[in-house]
């Protein structure tokens, strides 16, 4: 019998029972948890931030169980058991400084109590604790699992008990009568009333504009437009915090202290104890390593440049000072709580390890200069999603202004092909960073940086590698819609080769900006957050689609909130290191105007960029054929995409027998409506949105979401240190234009081209800050859960679904084996290139051992966007 033919799950198939043994895993964030009456066993995977020996007195924690089958006629809800308190706890091994404790408790119920399908827990202790999981064993020895991973706050703060449902899924119309009212009440709580300032312990999900990026209280230069809610500045919504408005700028929300990591996100979206501690530690260690030797330069944006490539390589030396003293300590005190700073200070004194050498220079310090490596990174680097096939020559902008690249110049480099022949065969490609930048360049270049818009043309050689043909750098002309163009051609030596290297640096700066602001931040982090909010507000935790999506949303709202605090805010990291500076997020807004959800799936994206064509072969599950057979991101990604889609299709087919089930799912319809009208409300009138009326539309929507949150984000994020960790390979800004012959700057350039190149790059501080950022972003943390894995083996109470998920996991293992085989194929030259960097970013699993999954691995697809 196929999964599509399986019967619906019965709502009351569990035998009657007299008593239950309840197993719960709790991790106390300040103390190990104490406890227990009899049958509640604590098995924790998450750990506390501060390891202390004292447990929480069990009398402060109580549990009551709801029947999922028998209704209390007085309340209309499932029967509720007596209250039981934890009395003692069994401590487990310490892991990552956290103590895990197992508690057992026995609860006696009437013989007609029925199947336990929910419980409430109350914390009367003064501190929160982290509840990882629970399981209830019935009198017939059946174990009912509860996948929790939530902070439990004191009742003095929350004013209510915390409700959890078991891991069994029900469509709204199939909810057992005993759980109907509980299901409704829980969703009402999560939606809140849209009023008041949110507190740390709240679990309320609501939408807001990006009105917290500016900080007008620091001065008018920190004013930033509100993103979202207007035609001029459309944007996805973020989670509402309800903080007070700034007194200096009434449209701006007040901001918390940077780097105290205390910004509000709903408590269930907060990082687990170890994740938060490890992220803080990674941030500070990176800053100390890369910034402390020149700490006195931190307050001066225009500090000295690196004087040589040898000096630049010293950034990665183990001889750099790693002691937090003097100026650095005084400044970190302003950013980090004193207690935490003491821990980091001790850790730094104990750890003088050398940071890994970025892969781009690991084997060959000059590989980054190679033209073939320049082209290869557009297919297999950290940003392989921008290149497109050129279909019209010469390229032109929306006003009809044509590129100044001449056909005669191009045809000299096509290895015997004419331009028309090469284009007909899909062999001419373009990296386009022109139209979206031109309107902003005058404003950008008035702030001490030197930026062009760019077009780069490339030719597909017979060996499958891309050969650069020409680079066009453009500036706005003296009148509207006029432009000034300069064209640069590849050269192997002499002055022309040095000028070509400068032109490539400007292209790479363009690409770094688009990568960080658009491909990475906007098209993964920002666009997913409204889906998370809608899921928590409209789909019960018992809803199968909630169960499917939840692993792919873990940690995203928290990391996005931290990004608003220190990365994308006024004066934040991106404004400091990227050449658009204060208008970074406005560019992001402009490109959101072009964003369409239906284009975010991999096949649709490849078709849109002309990197693939439709395949009429009905047996091809991708529906497309790649123009480049050696395109590692696309080849590996399509295999991952198909596996995800097949898994999602089988999952949905089990719960929805026909399209009428989808149309009649009130929670699903409310979810989809809210995403379009509120979460992405600035696009609610766009006609490209699918109607949520068919199984195929549901499967495509969910596949796109899982793809974005897992594989797409992994491909764009975890290779950053390998390629951007060495700034000359991917500079984030340029401080000089390419000099014109006959000028003083051209004479300076001729005197020492390498020194001119280094002066053109970001200064010491900007480079160091950029490397510190990608060091943190590229690091996997200890609690990473990878695609095809779940935090709990009992994540869903359905054997058929669990077996199908095991098949999905096995398919991903087989895909990884095929990727590894392709990486060993010498004919697939883009798999390594001149820098000899294997394409491993879409290996589903990070490594064979958990120890090697932490840190900078350059491989592994985490389930969610959590960094």
pLDDT in tens, 722-740: 999 999 999 999 999 999 9
Q: What is the pLDDT averaged over residues 235-255?
A: 87
pLDDT band for position 300 (50/70/90)?
A: very low
Which pLDDT belongs to residue 847?
Answer: 56
Best CA proximity match to 556, nearest among 572, 536, 541: 536
Which pLDDT belongs to residue 32?
Answer: 40
Which pLDDT belongs to residue 217?
Answer: 85
3-state SS, one letter per residue, for 680-714: CHHHCCCCCCCCCCCHHHHHHHHHHHHHHHHHHHH
- Residue 585's H or E segment, with its range, is helix 584-592
Contacts 24+ apart (CB under 8 A), 93-96: 94/47, 94/51, 95/47, 96/47, 96/274, 96/277, 96/278, 96/782
Question: Which one is catalytic: 713, 798, 856, 865?
Answer: 713
CA dihedral in degrees (639, 640, 646, 647; nearest 10)? 150
Catalytic status, residue 471: no
Question: Which one is catalytic: 33, 372, 583, 867?
Answer: 867
Q: What is the pLDDT averaged over residues 683-712?
A: 97
Which pLDDT belongs to residue 143?
Answer: 83
Confirm if 692 and 819 have CB atoms less than 8 A apart. Answer: no
Question: Which one is catalytic: 515, 525, 558, 680?
Answer: 525
Question: Which one is catalytic: 145, 222, 289, 520?
Answer: 520
Digit-coded pLDDT (tens) for 608-619: 999 999 999 889
Instruction: Give the best-scoring range by mean pLDDT among 289-298, 313-322, 667-676.
Output: 667-676
Check whether 105 has a pLDDT greater than 90. Answer: no
Confirm if 212 and 505 have CB atoms less than 8 A apart. Answer: no
> What whole-number distance in Å separates Cα of residue 274 and Cα of residue 256?
23
Digit-coded pLDDT (tens) for 588-631: 999 999 999 999 999 999 999 999 999 998 899 999 999 999 99
pTM, entire model: 0.91
Across all residues in the chain, what is the average pLDDT? 86
Which pLDDT belongs to residue 400?
Answer: 86
> What whole-number distance in Å separates Cα of residue 15 and Cα of residue 18?
10
More confident residue, 737 or 333: 737
Q: What angle do CA 58, 61, 64 make, to 5 degrees?
A: 125
With pLDDT > 90 as the criterion, what percentage of the chain qualifies?
A: 65
Which pLDDT belongs to residue 98?
Answer: 61
Which pLDDT belongs to residue 303?
Answer: 46
Q: What is the pLDDT averaged over residues 709-713?
A: 98
Which pLDDT belongs to residue 397?
Answer: 87
* Listed range (62-66, 550-554, 611-615) with the worst mean pLDDT: 62-66
Catalytic status, residue 867: yes
Catalytic status, residue 520: yes
CB burial string 573-588: b at 16+ within 10 A, e below: bbbbbbbbbbbbbbbb
Digit-coded pLDDT (tens) for 654-676: 999 999 999 999 999 999 999 99
- Other C-beta atoms closer than 10 Å to the C-beta of 720 total 29
Q: What is the pLDDT averaged over residues 204-217?
A: 94
More confident residue, 495 or 104: 495
Check whether 298 has a pLDDT greater than 50. Answer: no
pLDDT band for position 149 (50/70/90)?
A: confident
| Cross-strand bridge partners of residue 210 | 227
> What whole-number distance in Å separates Cα of residue 191 and Cα of residue 202?
11
Check whether 447 has a pLDDT greater than 60. Answer: yes
Check whether 302 has a pLDDT greater than 70. Answer: no
Check whether 299 has a pLDDT greater than 90. Answer: no
Catalytic status, residue 525: yes
User: What's the start-to-end Cα distance of the chain, in Å?
Assistant: 41
Which pLDDT belongs to residue 287?
Answer: 64
Q: What is the pLDDT averaged over residues 255-260?
A: 65
Digit-coded pLDDT (tens) for 816-833: 999 999 999 999 999 999
What does R_g of the chain's alpha carbons equal in angstroms?
A: 28
Digit-coded pLDDT (tens) for 477-488: 988 788 999 999
> What whole-number distance in Å separates Cα of residue 461 and Cα of residue 411?
14
pLDDT band for position 461 (50/70/90)?
A: very high
Digit-coded pLDDT (tens) for 7-37: 344 333 333 333 445 555 554 444 443 343 3
More confident residue, 826 or 246: 826
Question: Which one is catalytic: 282, 305, 717, 775?
Answer: 717
* Listed range (188-192, 240-244, 553-557, 685-689) with the worst mean pLDDT: 240-244
> What whole-number distance in Å separates Cα of residue 373 and Cα of residue 641?
27
Burial of 860 (0-12, 13-18, 19+ CB in 10 A): buried
Half-sphere exposure of 588 (CA within 13 A, CB side): 32
């Amino acid at each position: 019998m196929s999964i599509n033919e399986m019967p619906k799950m019965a709502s009351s198939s569990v035998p009657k029972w007299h008593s239950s043994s309840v197993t719960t895993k709790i991790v106390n964030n300040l103390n190990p948890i104490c406890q227990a009456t009899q049958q509640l066993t604590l098995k924790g995977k998450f750990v506390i931030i501060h390891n202390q020996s004292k447990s929480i007195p069990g009398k402060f924690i109580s549990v009551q169980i709801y029947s999922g089958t028998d209704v209390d006629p007085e309340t209309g809800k499932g029967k509720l058991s007596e209250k039981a308190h934890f009395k003692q706890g069994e401590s487990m091994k310490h892991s990552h400084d956290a103590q895990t404790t197992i508690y057992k408790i026995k609860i006696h119920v009437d013989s007609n109590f029925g199947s336990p399908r929910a419980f409430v827990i109350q914390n009367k202790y003064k501190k929160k604790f982290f509840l990882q999981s629970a399981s209830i064993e019935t009198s017939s020895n059946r174990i009912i699992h509860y996948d929790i991973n939530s902070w439990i706050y004191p009742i003095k703060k929350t004013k209510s008990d915390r409700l959890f449902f078991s891991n069994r899924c029900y469509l709204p119309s199939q909810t057992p009568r005993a759980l109907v009212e509980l299901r409704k009440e829980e969703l009402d709580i999560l939606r809140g009333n849209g009023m008041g300032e949110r507190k740390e312990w709240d679990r309320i999900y609501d939408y807001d504009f990006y009105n917290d990026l500016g900080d007008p209280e620091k001065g008018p230069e920190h004013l930033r437009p509100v993103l979202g809610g207007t035609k001029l500045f459309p944007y996805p919504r973020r989670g509402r915090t309800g903080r007070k408005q700034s007194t200096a700028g009434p449209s701006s929300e007040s901001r918390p202290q940077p780097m105290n990591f205390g910004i509000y996100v709903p408590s269930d979206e907060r990082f687990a104890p170890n994740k938060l501690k490890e992220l803080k530690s990674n941030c500070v260690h990176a800053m100390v390593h890369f910034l402390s030797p020149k700490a006195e330069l931190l307050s001066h944006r225009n500090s000295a440049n690196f004087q040589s490539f040898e000096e630049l390589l010293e950034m990665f030396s183990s001889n750099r000072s790693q002691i937090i003293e003097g100026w650095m300590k005084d400044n970190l005190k302003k950013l980090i709580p004193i207690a935490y700073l003491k821990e980091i200070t001790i850790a730094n004194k104990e750890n003088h390890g050398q940071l890994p050498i970025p892969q781009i220079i690991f084997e060959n310090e000059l590989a980054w200069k190679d033209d073939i490596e320049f082209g290869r990174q557009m297919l297999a680097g950290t940003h392989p999603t921008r290149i497109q096939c050129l279909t019209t020559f010469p390229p032109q902008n929306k006003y009809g202004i044509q590129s100044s690249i001449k056909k005669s110049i191009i045809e000299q480099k096509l290895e015997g092909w004419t331009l028309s022949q090469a284009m007909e065969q899909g062999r001419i490609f373009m990296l386009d960073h022109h139209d979206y930048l031109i309107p902003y360049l005058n404003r950008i270049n008035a702030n001490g940086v030197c930026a062009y818009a760019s077009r780069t043309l490339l030719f597909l050689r017979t060996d499958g590698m891309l050969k650069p043909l020409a680079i066009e750098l453009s500036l706005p002309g003296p009148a509207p819609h006029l432009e000034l163009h300069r064209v640069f051609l590849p050269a192997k030596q002499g002055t022309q080769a040095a000028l070509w290297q400068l032109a490539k640096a400007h292209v790479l700066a363009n690409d770094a900006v688009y990568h960080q602001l658009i491909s990475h931040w906007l098209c993964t982090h920002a666009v997913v957050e409204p889906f998370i909010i809608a899921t928590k507000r409209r789909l019960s935790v018992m809803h199968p689609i909630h169960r499917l999506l939840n692993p792919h949303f873990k940690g995203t709202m928290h990391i996005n909130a931290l990004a608003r605090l220190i990365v994308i805010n006024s004066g934040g990291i991106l404004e400091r290191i990227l050449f658009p500076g204060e208008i970074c997020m406005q560019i992001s807004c402009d490109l959101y105007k072009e964003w369409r959800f239906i284009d975010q799936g991999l096949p649709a994206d490849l078709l849109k960029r002309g990197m693939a064509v439709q395949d009429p072969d009905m047996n091809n599950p991708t529906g497309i054929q790649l123009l480049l057979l050696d395109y590692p991101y696309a080849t590996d990604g399509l295999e991952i995409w198909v596996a995800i889609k097949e898994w999602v299709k089988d999952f949905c087919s089990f719960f929805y027998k026909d399209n009428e089930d989808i149309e009649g799912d009130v929670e699903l319809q409310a979810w989809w409506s809210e995403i379009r009208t509120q979460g992405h409300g600035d696009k609610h009138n766009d006609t490209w949105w699918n109607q949520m009326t068919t199984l195929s539309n549901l499967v495509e929507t969910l596949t796109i979401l899982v793809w974005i949150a897992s594989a797409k984000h992994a491909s764009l994020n975890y290779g950053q240190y390998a390629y951007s960790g060495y700034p000359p390979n991917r500079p984030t800004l340029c401080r000089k234009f390419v000099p014109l012959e006959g000028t003083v700057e051209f004479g300076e350039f001729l005197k020492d081209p390498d020194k001119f190149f280094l002066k053109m790059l970001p200064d010491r501080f900007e480079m160091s800050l950029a490397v510190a950022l990608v060091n943190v972003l590229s690091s996997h943390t200890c609690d990473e859960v990878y695609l095809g894995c779940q935090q709990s083996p009992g994540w869903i109470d359905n054997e058929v679904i669990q077996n199908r998920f095991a098949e999905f996991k096995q398919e991903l293992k087989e895909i990884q084996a095929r990727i590894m085989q392709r990486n060993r194929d010498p004919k697939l030259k883009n798999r390594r290139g001149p820098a000899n960097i294997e394409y491993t970013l879409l290996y589903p699993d990070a490594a064979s051992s958990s120890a090697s999954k932490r840190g900078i691995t350059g491989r592994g697809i985490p389930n969610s966007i959590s960094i």
